Amino acid sequence: MLKTCEHCGASFEGAPQARFCSDAHRKAHARSRTKEQVGLGQAGQSVRVEGVVEADFTPGDSARRPGTLRGLIAAARRGEIVLSEREEQAVRNHFGYARSETRTLLERDAVAKRITGSSDRLVELPKVVVRYRMDGTPVEEPVGPAGLSLVAFPVQREGDLAPTAEQLAKLGR
């Protein structure tokens, strides 16, 4: 059965339900339709911003609220706006969080800051660790600079990476 492609208008043979001559034309047609749908609507109308965030449009909103998801995230982090529940869900979807995630962007940022802030403090590694043999007797083993056992890694010593006086002389220092 001869059909006409809705995207390019060319004739093609295909199944009765086929509307496009190729998969590429089907996708191009879908993209062009979503581009037409995105944009500013009339006052009080629900609008899609970049196909992700929905918000109620009131005149002058576009001047106050960013139109992109990244803009919304940046403005929320600066404290300029408070994200609505729909915008929060769009952020969660963008970053791939599970549906059960209920924390806001700012709550997740605070937790991340707390976690990374705790790693700023340096931890003193012990010089000796106690290990237990198969029979249960304790054995003290020296630990190298990277926290690795010197028994398991005997070539690792405290001054391994420091150049010797001879090596420094060769470098002219």
In the chain, what are the domain boundaries? 1-37, 40-121, 124-157
By three-state DSSP, how is residue 47 classified?
A: strand
What is the amino acid identity at position 48? R
Q: How far is CA 99 from the centre of its chain?
A: 16
**Mean pLDDT along residues 47-71:** 59
Residue 141 pLDDT level (bands cut at 50, 70, 90)? confident
Q: Please state the pTM of the whole predicted model.
A: 0.37
56: DSSP letter? E
- How many Cβ atoms from other residues are within 10 Å of residue 25's Cβ? 17
Token representation of residue 29: 């047609």
